[in-house]
Amino acid sequence: MAFPGLRGASSGLLAVLKKGPRLRRRKPRSSTPVPDSALTPPNPIASLAPLTQIISTYLSDKDVERVRDAYRFADSAHLGQFRASGEPYISHPIAVTEICAGWKLDADSLMAALLHDVIEDQGVAKQDLAEKFGSDVSEIVDGLSKLERLEFATKAEQQAESFRKMLLAMSRDVRVILIKLADRLHNMRTLDAVSIEKRRRVALETLDIYTPIAHRLGLNALFRELQDRCFKAIYPNRYAVLYKAMMSARGNRREVISKIADAVRIALPAAGLEAEVSGREKSLYGIYKKMVAQKKSFSDVLDIYGFRVVVHTLPECYLALGTLHQLYRPVPGKFKDYIAIPKVNGYQSLHTTLIGPYGTPVEFQFRTRDMDHVAEEGVASHWLYKEAGTSLNDLQKRTHQWLQSLLDIQSQTGDSGEFLEHVKVDLFPDAVYVFTPQGKILSLPRGATPVDFAYAIHTDVGNQAVACKINGEFSPLRTELRSGDAVEVITSPASRPSAQWLNYVRTGRARSEIRHYLRTERYEESVAFGRRLLDQAFDQIRLPHPKDDAIEWERLAKSSGATTRDEILADIGLGKRLAAVVARRFAPENSLLETTAAAVDEMTSATNAPIVIHGNEGQAVQLAACCGPLPGDAIIGGIRLGHGLVVHMGDCPVALRQQVKEPERWIPVVWDTTTARHLSTRLDITVLNERGVLGRIAAEVTEADSNIMQLSMPEDAAATALIHLTVQVDHRKHLAQVIRAIRHVPQVQKIVRAKG
């Protein structure tokens, strides 16, 4: 029995099609459908001999015997259980363990691979495994087990929670995901035994989750095989057509490729370089993705073939590159140095594309033997658990950092679906490499922005970011970063994350940190503002303010479905409860009065002491965007369900309409004697549409110590145009100064402050 490890998988699609899947469904002789469980197993004996032969080469006799014990336990547990193909189920754990043995994983890992389905499928208790095989083995097996016995509202919720469990177990012990990837690889190799619908579902899940994880861990041979097998399962017809085209192209280009290979094998020794030169084809899925992305036909995708040059030392990589650049003309812009700047998964190599005979572009990769080993097997190439006490290499450190980031995201995310969303964002294979002001290289997903960069540096840097410099020039925070950019983030202690950032951040860390901040800050602000509203309500009905530990809080929470006092106050601050009604429940004569229209009318008809507005209270108090109230304006506040207090100008048309509908939700508010600065308001300016008018208006706004936040005007403006301008000012008098300054522009005919 040949070992189906990753070295065998690296030959890619051709090996898959030659060998065929290991498990095939046996067709019943009668026309009546036969259930899978009733199929006669084609191979009733599952042998441990090939696995024993592999592990005996690197494990001690004692460890080999421990693996045999795990096999006997698993064989007994799965007795009478068959796969969809009809083979004994134990053949699957053995095949998974063989793949893990190809990575030379330790005995605990191999035992866990043999036992990985006994908890999930056979109901074996975790404690029983711990007593028999040790806590490490039981923890790994538990991390691999799905949550099928718990109640979930939907299948998607169950799947997301199972992924979260697995990934968190992986963050504590990376062996969990290595065994899971081996499990998924064998399932994909035997996918022909299940229905077409299940094939497609499993392949989509693999492409969505497991393939990016394999890439992130540097398991490139596994990554390529999973991609091609998923492609075959999801699009079987497209796969067949591309495979046929590939075979035809290989025959047509055989002469060209042979000529290039012969020339390279002569040129390198002539330059004093001893190297292994091997040809390789791009995976079918990689070709398909390129065809879709670039809207090309197969005949237009020319660089489907390449060569790998493996040398002894790092300097020889560059010498070999220079030698071949003299032999064939390089394609401009197609050189990539992943040795100086390795990929985030530890991959190192030099890439270049050369124009060979007859104008055929051919890609070359140059690497050392160690780099080649890491390129194929990633984090498994230098096994973390193989040698206790040894220091971690750079690849292992990066892997640990990523695993730790999973724990950071989990600590700030309550929902399993949201957690999975953050993790999937971090699994995008493409990356950009940028520099910190100290010259350190940072890897971020393609499309990342300075906000992602800031959170990658530190949470506080992200939370306090106000601006950034890219290559020494000020740039917007939403600018997409490119490889080679030098990024500097400018911070301010008064700054806080904006919900708008969620529209353009790419990393899971940044997204989870922003959501966590907004969630916690909004809650704390809502609690504080709810306390202010409730204290005002107590004053209105002349009741003493209750202490934080008063028994009435507990009684009120139980009767209203809340759990804590702060939750009640947050609900008041967010407009989910009316402060007047909550205060009434503390009245001695009717401490648990239910919410009624009469109670609301009684409270709102009382003389209300106004709420004092500073302008920077946070999300619990918002200045309405429709009218942009400023200090000095007459204002009124409306409690909006789920949003807290929204402050409008007293004559805002939007506020006047809402007051008629829900008068009980409106309370008097006044400006504080000291208010926040840089508040936004809108102006509608009618101008003569002449050259330079926008520049003159901008200059006058700047001269008046203001800032333009937004500007728009119709594209089809005629002789006269209406400009919509949003400016930042400190108060009503400052706005008047800005308006007077704008009137200095001769083309300005009319200025109106926009309301509603």
Contacts of 175 (CB under 8 A, 6+ apart): 105, 108, 109, 112, 140, 385
Q: Please name which of 23, 24, 26, 22 lies closest in space to residue 9, comparing C-alpha atoms.
A: 22
The tokens for 435 are 């520099």
Compute the distance between CA of residue 162 and CA of residue 178 in angstroms, rounded to an integer: 16
Q: Please name which of 666, 679, 642, 676 lies closest in space to residue 526, comparing C-alpha atoms.
A: 642
Instruction: Please answer whether residues 180 and 13 qualify as being in contact, where contact means their C-beta atoms are separated by less than 8 angstroms.
Output: no
Long-range contacts of 540-543, Cβ-Cβ distance < 8 Å, separation of 24 or more: 540/580, 540/583, 540/603, 540/606, 540/607, 540/608, 540/609, 541/583, 541/584, 541/587, 541/603, 541/606, 543/583, 543/586, 543/587
Instruction: List, as one string, the DSSP characters of 664-682.
Output: GGEEEEEE-SS--S-EEEE
Q: Summarize pLDDT for 614-641 with one digit per residue, the tens.
A: 776 666 677 888 888 889 889 998 877 6
Inter-CA distances, 266 with 259, 271, 353, 363, Å: 11, 9, 19, 18
Q: Summarize pLDDT for 203-236 with one digit per residue, the tens.
A: 988 887 788 778 777 788 888 899 999 999 999 9
- Does the pLDDT at position 20 exceed 50? no
Q: Which residue has the higher pLDDT, 728 or 605?
A: 728
Give the burial string for 93-116 (b: 16+ CB within 10 Å, else e): bbbbbbbbbbbbbbbbbbbbbbbb
Q: Which residues pair with 611 in a beta bridge?
A: 669
Among 7-16, 134-143, 320-329, the least confident range: 7-16
| CATH code that applies to domain 239-381 | 3.30.460.10
Q: Which residue has the higher pLDDT, 163 or 88?
A: 88
Half-sphere exposure of 688 (CA within 13 A, CB side): 8
Give the model's pLDDT for residue 453: 93
Q: Which residues pair with 684 in a beta bridge?
A: 724, 752
Fold match, 6-234 / 239-381: no
Compute the distance between CA of residue 427 and CA of residue 424 in angstroms, rounded to an integer: 5
Give the model's pLDDT for residue 691: 85
- Does the pLDDT at position 155 exceed 50? yes
Question: Tokens 């099609």 label which residue?
Answer: 17
Residue count (the chain): 756
Decide: helix, strand or coil at residue 704.
coil
Instruction: Please answer whether residues 537 and 579 qualify as being in contact, where contact means their C-beta atoms are separated by less than 8 angstroms.
Output: yes
121 catalytic, yes or no? yes
Q: For residue 637, how far is the Cα from the chain centroid?
A: 39
Instruction: Please answer whether residues 655 and 679 qualify as being in contact, where contact means their C-beta atoms are separated by less than 8 angstroms.
Output: no
Mean pLDDT of the 31-53 span: 54
Classify the C-alpha dihedral 457-460-462-464 as positive or negative: negative
Compute the distance between CA of residue 506 and CA of residue 496 in angstroms, rounded to an integer: 19
Of 212-221, 296-305, 597-606, give the range with the top mean pLDDT.
212-221
Mean pLDDT of the 702-729 span: 84
Contacts of 539 (CB under 8 A, 6+ apart): 609
Estimate the crossing angle of helix 314-327 against helix 236-270, to 10 degrees: 100
Compute the distance between CA of residue 431 and CA of residue 24 in angstroms, rounded to an integer: 40
Give the model's pLDDT for residue 323: 92
Mean pLDDT of the chain: 77
- Does the pLDDT at position 513 exceed 70? yes
Q: Where are the alpha helices (DSSP H) in 586-646?
A: 597-604
Give the model's pLDDT for residue 16: 32
DSSP state of 541: T
Half-sphere exposure of 22 (CA within 13 A, CB side): 20
Residue 685's pLDDT band, with cuts at 50, 70 and 90, is very high
Q: Which residue has the higher pLDDT, 678 or 254?
A: 678
Compute the distance between CA of residue 309 and CA of residue 269 in angstroms, rounded to an integer: 12
Question: Tokens 């229905």 label which residue?
Answer: 195
Instruction: List, as one string, the DSSP characters of 129-198.
Output: HHHHH-HHHHHHHHHHS---SS--SSHHHHHHHHHHHHHHHHHH-THHHHHHHHHHHHHHHTGGGS-HHH
Instruction: Please answer whether residues 561 and 590 qualify as being in contact, where contact means their C-beta atoms are separated by less than 8 angstroms.
Output: no
Contacts of 345 (CB under 8 A, 6+ apart): 215, 216, 217, 218, 378, 395, 398
Instruction: Please answer whether residues 157 and 148 qualify as being in contact, where contact means their C-beta atoms are separated by less than 8 angstroms.
Output: no
Classify the C-alpha dihedral 164-165-169-172 as positive or negative: positive
Compute the distance between CA of residue 740 and CA of residue 650 in angstroms, rounded to an integer: 24
Residue 8's pLDDT band, with cuts at 50, 70 and 90, is very low
Among 461-470, 472-481, 488-497, 596-605, the least confident range: 596-605
- Does the pLDDT at position 331 exceed 50? yes
The CATH architecture that domain 679-753 belongs to is 2-Layer Sandwich (3.30)
Give the model's pLDDT for residue 488: 92
Domain parsing of the chain, residue ranges:
6-234, 239-381, 507-609, 679-753
Compute the distance between CA of residue 732 and CA of residue 627 in angstroms, rounded to an integer: 13
Instruction: Please answer whether residues 444 and 431 qualify as being in contact, where contact means their C-beta atoms are separated by less than 8 angstroms.
Output: yes
Residue 751's pLDDT band, with cuts at 50, 70 and 90, is very high
Residue 160's pLDDT band, with cuts at 50, 70 and 90, is low
CATH 1.10.760.10 describes domain 6-234: no
Give the model's pLDDT for residue 756: 65
Classify the C-alpha dihedral 330-333-338-344 as positive or negative: negative
Main-chain dihedrals φ then ψ at residue 319, nearest 5 degrees: -65, -40
Q: Please name which of 681, 701, 706, 682 lies closest in space to residue 744, comparing C-alpha atoms.
A: 701
Give the burial string for 447-480 (b: 16+ CB within 10 Å, else e): ebbbbbbbbbbebeebbbbeebebeeeebebeee
Of 39-53, 222-236, 551-565, 593-607, give the range with the top mean pLDDT.
222-236
DSSP state of 25: P
Mean pLDDT of the 152-160 span: 55
Residue 738's pLDDT band, with cuts at 50, 70 and 90, is very high
Exactly one of 36, 63, 75, 120 is catalytic; which is it? 120
Q: Please name which of 169, 89, 95, 84 lies closest in space to residue 126, comparing C-alpha atoms.
A: 169
Exactly one of 36, 63, 75, 121 is catalytic; which is it? 121
In the chain, pLDDT over 90 holds for what percent of residues?
13
Q: For residue 648, how far is the Cα from the chain centroid?
A: 38
Q: Which residue has the higher pLDDT, 753 or 565?
A: 753
End-to-end CA distance of the chain: 77
Instruction: Please answer whether residues 679 and 751 qualify as being in contact, where contact means their C-beta atoms are separated by less than 8 angstroms.
Output: no
Mean pLDDT of the 305-322 span: 90
Mean pLDDT of the 604-612 span: 58
| 679-688 sheet: strands from edge to edge | 707-712, 720-729, 679-688, 748-753
Q: Summarize pLDDT for 253-299 with one digit per residue, the tens.
A: 677 778 888 888 899 999 899 988 887 777 888 888 888 877 877 77
Give the model's pLDDT for residue 319: 94
120 catalytic, yes or no? yes
Give the model's pLDDT for residue 607: 42
Q: Summarize pLDDT for 375-428 with one digit per residue, the tens.
A: 777 666 554 444 444 444 565 566 656 666 665 655 555 555 555 555 555 554
Instruction: Please answer whether residues 591 and 554 qualify as being in contact, where contact means their C-beta atoms are separated by less than 8 angstroms.
Output: no
Decide: helix, strand or coil at residue 289.
helix
